[in-house]
Amino acid sequence: MMTPQEKTAAEFYIRLALKEDVGDGDHTSLACVPETARGEAVLVAKEAGVLAGVEVAETVYRLVDPHIDFKALKHDGDRLAVGDRVWTVSGASRSILTAERLSLNYVQRMSGIATQTRRLVDMLAGTRTTLLDTRKTTPNNRVFEKMAVRIGGGSNHRFGLFDMILIKDNHIDFAGGVVEAVQAAEAYLKANGLKLPVEVEVRNEAELEAVLRHGGVQRIMLDNFTVPDLKKAVEKIGGRYETEASGGITEATLKDYASSGVDFISVGGLTHHVASLDLSLKAVHHI
């Protein structure tokens, strides 16, 4: 279920998407379909997967035409089999057609993300590791893509640049070193009266040792560590800080990385490299 903040953001971005897609009118539907025509259509799954985006699609239909009758037959998080009916919509035929592609764009992409997320979460069953997404999202679609990750059973990392201090390799290099970067972040937060969690990325044992000596963070990201090196690093941290593994982790190696006891694994591919789920809206009949 969308949070109030997500509902507000979703409606804002859907309005922008409708402006992009519809412009000054759906001229094909206006030309071909009588104004008085009414109909019904059903969304059918053509591929198995995890459903996500039903609430978003319903919002699309509501914004196109508040008189459209949208009936969800399946809900976000449900597993779909080929042939499953997902929702029906009835009302003005023009409105159904105008909302068709945008609603499908959202639900197909979100369902693809949720399906891949669920696959990886299932692989992590029996470990202590939580699967995270990243900021590698489609511009102006982050709220939908991160929502889909949660629907699939994963968890969200920071939403944007504003809700967390995440010191990465380039920050460290520009700051002159890992400790210098952490110290600068501490000073910045104090000077601006901000209370944000601080995470720092380390690339090797030397940087890890420097962070452990200095402190000042809540989480340490172990970037591109091998599985054996990750296990050693997690043991060295010893629960003093949250731990996150990132970089080059695939389905084939996911369980091995989780076996290190790391708290989190972040996978950018959840949102930037995923196939949409095949769903199709079909007209049922005229009313």
pLDDT of residue 287: 57
pLDDT of residue 284: 87
56 located within any domain: yes
Instruction: Please tell me whether residues 14 and 116 are part of one structural domain.
Output: yes
225 located within any domain: yes
SS3 of 159, please?
coil
Instruction: Please tell me whether residues 257 and 281 are part of one structural domain.
Output: no
pLDDT of residue 1: 83
Backbone φ, ψ for residue 200 (5° rounding): -125, 140
Quickly count helices (H) and strands (E) in the chain.
11, 12
Instruction: Please tell me whether residues 195 and 255 are part of one structural domain.
Output: yes
CATH number (domain holding residue 54):
3.90.1170.20
DSSP 33: S
Best CA proximity match to 85, nearest among 285, 234, 238, 280: 280
pLDDT of residue 102: 98
Q: Please state the domain count of the chain.
A: 2
151 located within any domain: no
Stretches where the chain sits below pLDDT 50 are: none
pLDDT of residue 77: 98
The count of residues in the chain is 287
| Chain centroid, CA 96 distance in Å | 27
146 located within any domain: no
CA distance 71 to 87: 6
CA distance 201 to 231: 16
Reported as a single tens digit per residue, the pLDDT across 52-107 is 999 999 999 999 999 999 999 999 999 999 999 999 999 999 999 999 999 999 99
Instruction: Please tell me whether residues 40 and 94 are part of one structural domain.
Output: yes
What is the full DSSP assignment across 109-137?
Answer: HHHHHHHHHHHHHHHTTTSSPEEE--S--
Spell out the residues 6+ positions from residue 13 whose beta carbon is closer than 8 angstroms to its own. Answer: 140, 141, 143, 144
Q: Check: CB of residue 14 under 8 Å from CB of residue 6.
A: no
141 located within any domain: no
Helix ranges restricted to H, 124-243: 142-151, 169-175, 178-191, 205-214, 227-237
pLDDT of residue 169: 97
Name the residues annotated as catalytic.
101, 136, 168, 201, 223
SS3 of 245, please?
strand
pLDDT of residue 248: 87
Instruction: Please tell me whether residues 37 and 84 are part of one structural domain.
Output: yes
- Domain that residue 228 falls in: 164-267
CA distance 178 to 217: 12
CATH number (domain holding residue 181):
3.20.20.70
250 located within any domain: yes
Spell out the residues 6+ positions from residue 154 whose beta carbon is closer than 8 angstroms to its own. Answer: 117, 120, 121, 130, 131, 132, 133, 270
Instruction: Please tell me whether residues 112 and 169 are part of one structural domain.
Output: no
Q: Which two tokens stand for residue 122?
A: 């299932």
